Chains A and B, each alone.
Chain A
Amino acid sequence: AQSVTQLGSHVSVSEGALVLLRCNYSSSVPPYLFWYVQYPNQGLQLLLKYTSAATLVKGINGFEAEFKKSETSFHLTKPSAHMSDAAEYFCAVSEGTGFQKLVFGTGTRLLVSP
C-alpha cells in the first residue's frame, strides 16, 4: 500500500524567506508524486508533479521539488516566500499516472508573516 507522510502540520516563514515543506512517501512500485495547494474553501490546484522523468521538477508560482529515491522524499521548496503563498499544501502519491487514485498526506499549512 502506498502512503505519504508530511512532516509538520504547520510551517511559518517570513516573507522573502526560503520555503521548505517536507514529504516522504512509501510505495511498492515506482511512484508518481504530486504537490497540490488548497486555499480556504476551495478545491486543489496542482503545483507540480513527478512522473519518472527529471528528478527536479519545476512547478507554478516559483515552486519546485526534487525526487530522491534513496531518501524516499519529495520535498517542496521555494526560494522566496510571498504573502500569497499562505495556504494548505498536500503531497500525494499514485501508482501510475495522475489518472489513478491519489493517496494524500495530511497537509501542511504554510503561514507567511510580513
Chain B
Amino acid sequence: GAVVSQHPSRVICKSGTSVKIECRSLDFQATTMFWYRQFPKQSLMLMATSNEGSKATYEQGVEKDKFLINHASLTLSTLTVTSAHPEDSSFYICSAGTTNEQFFGPGTRLTVL
C-alpha cells in the first residue's frame, strides 16, 4: 500500500514554544490529508481536513489559530502547534487520502514540559 511518513516521530518541547510536524505521502499525491489527535488509551479524534492549496477545515472545538495547518504541495502537509502547553501533549497522526482509502502515518508523540 501507499506510504505516509511523519516527522519527527517524537518531540519534547518547553511550554510556550511552537512545534511543527510534517506529514508526507511518499509514493502518491494526496489532495486531501487529515490530522488526528489521540490521547492515551483513547480513540482518534479528527482535528482538521487539509486540502492542497486552500485553507484547512477544522472540526468543532479545534482552535485554528493554535493548530496551524499548511498543505503547500500534493505530498506535504504540516501541523504547527503554536505556543504549546502541557495539555497539548498527545499523539498526533496524519493520514493521506486516495479515492478509496486513507493511509495513516506512524504518528508523532508530542510532550510539552
Contacts and interface: CB of A to CB of B under 8 A. Distances in A.
Nearest to A46: B101
Chain B interface category by residue count: 20 to 34
Given A41-B109, A42-B107, A46-B1, A104 B43 contact: yes
Nearest to A92: B44
A17 interface: no
A105 B42 CA distance: 9
A12 B46 CA distance: 29
Given A51-B100, A99-B32, A43 B105 contact: yes
Interface in B80-96: 91, 93, 95
Contact of B49 (A44, A98, A101): A101
A106 interface: yes
B106 A105 contact: no
Nearest to A99: B97
B67 interface: no
Interface string B45-79: 11001000000000000000000000000000000
B contact face: mostly helix, strand, loop, or mixed: strand
A46 B104 CA distance: 9
B30 to A, nearest CB: 10
A102 B107 contact: no
Interface in A55-114: 90, 97-107
Nearest to A107: B43
A42 to B, nearest CB: 6
B102 interface: yes
Contacts of A45: 104
A105 B104 contact: no
5 contacts: A43-B107, A44-B44, A46-B101, A46-B103, A104-B43
